[in-house]
Amino acid sequence: MSDLPALIEPELATLATRPPTHGEWSYEIKFDGYRMMARIENGDARLISRNGLDWSKKMPHIRAALASFPVDNAWLDGEAVALDAHGRPDFNALQNAFDRRSVAEITLFLFDLLWLDGIDRRHEPLSTRRQLLRELLDVVDSPLIRFSDTFDGDPDQLLLAAREMKLEGIIGKRTDSPYRSGRSKDWIKMKCEKREGFLIGGVAGGSFLLGVREEDGSLRYVSDVEAHLSPRQTVALQGRLKPIAESPFAKRPKRNAVWVQPEIIAQVRFLEWTPTGRIRHGVFEKIDTAHNL
């Protein structure tokens, strides 16, 4: 028997572009929510964010559900998620729930068990830890706490299905791996990202300010993305950008920037469009030399 740790840092997945070819792996949905570690001790539960912040007061319903677990102590790993009408994770709804302090319907999906009743389980294989977690959740009756199921099948087909369902992606985990805090290659994430070209309307520091043309010809701001250009590429692009005095955007972003004629297209990959017409998690890929105006 050991003392329950005050804090355990989460294991983080490494971004991958293709499934691994060696080892035994299981795959889960990549939930689009807030990562949460749950600490339970003597009927008291706490929710700890990925950055080590105590979020217990932000989610009192989930905290109460965890406190009712039939355990003396435990550490659990999961994701707080808001589900849409089709049962899909909706990150914007999650943000709105916290902004409005209306969190009663947020669900905690649990996918790992690190500690249970005085025993540190982190050195045990993932498959063993998840079996213990499933057995625990089988005796817990709460719609707010769910088990994150795994899916059989070819991971490429799973990723395709996730894309068709408009999910964020999938997570792959080595079934024989222990739990290691920090970034790990035993956990991988493959995202269902979108790719589009956007007009550069300004430059601020090392970022491009991007926009799209509306039907009336106006330029609508959609996001900033870090440029990630080599020195040679930077010099070449500077020779093509044409500075202008005023912002070309219909609604000027609240940024100090060098405004430019919106003629150069940046190819960007991103997760999704938000309801307000912005792109989320945009990552610059390249300057589109084939379709610039």
Handedness of CA 99, 104, 110, 113 (dihedral sign): positive
Asked whether residue 289 carries a pLDDT value surpassing 80, the answer given is no
Residue with tokens 């539960």: 45
Q: What is the pLDDT of residue 186?
A: 96
pTM for the model stands at 0.72
Residue 293 lies in a domain: no
**β-strands 44-49, 279-280 pairing:** unpaired
Q: In the annotation, is 30 catalytic?
A: yes
Mean of all residue pLDDT scores within the chain: 90
69, 178: one domain: yes
Which is the catalytic residue, given 30, 58, 173, 191? 30
**β-strands 11-15, 182-191 pairing:** parallel
Asked whether residue 114 carries a pLDDT value surpassing 90, the answer given is yes
Span 230-256, pLDDT tens digits: 787 888 888 889 999 999 999 878 778
Domain end call among 191, 207, 230: 191
CATH of the domain at 21: 3.30.470.30
186, 247: one domain: no
Rounded to 5°, the CA angle 224-264-193 comes to 50
Domain end call among 168, 191, 214: 191
Asked whether residue 276 carries a pLDDT value surpassing 60, the answer given is yes
238, 173: one domain: no
150, 81: one domain: yes
Count CB atoms within 10 A of the CB of residue 34: 22
**Per-residue confidence band for 108, with pLDDT thresholds at 50, 70 and 90:** very high
- Which of 176, 172, 137, 138 is closest to 156 using CA atoms? 172
Residue 167 lies in a domain: yes
**Per-residue confidence band for 291, with pLDDT thresholds at 50, 70 and 90:** very low
Span 194-226, pLDDT tens digits: 788 999 999 998 899 999 999 898 999 999 999
68, 185: one domain: yes
* Dist. CA 81–CA 35, nearest whole Å: 9
Q: Using an 8 Å Cβ cutoff, are 29 and 191 in contact?
A: no
250, 270: one domain: yes
Q: What is the pLDDT of residue 1?
A: 66
Which DSSP category does 162 fall into? H
Domain end call among 165, 191, 217: 191
Span 135-175, pLDDT tens digits: 999 999 899 999 999 987 889 889 888 888 878 889 999 99
Q: Using an 8 Å Cβ cutoff, are 63 and 93 in contact?
A: no
Residue with tokens 């469009």: 273
174, 271: one domain: no
Supply the range of the domain harboring residue 258: 194-287
* DSSP line for 260-277: B-TTPEEEEEESEE-TTS
Alpha-carbon distance values, 141 to 66, 136, 144 (Å): 11, 10, 9
132, 261: one domain: no
* Dist. CA 161–CA 225, nearest whole Å: 28
CATH of the domain at 233: 2.40.50.140
Residue 128 lies in a domain: yes
**Per-residue confidence band for 29, with pLDDT thresholds at 50, 70 and 90:** very high
Q: In total, how many domains does the chain have?
A: 2
Count CB atoms within 10 A of the CB of residue 8: 20
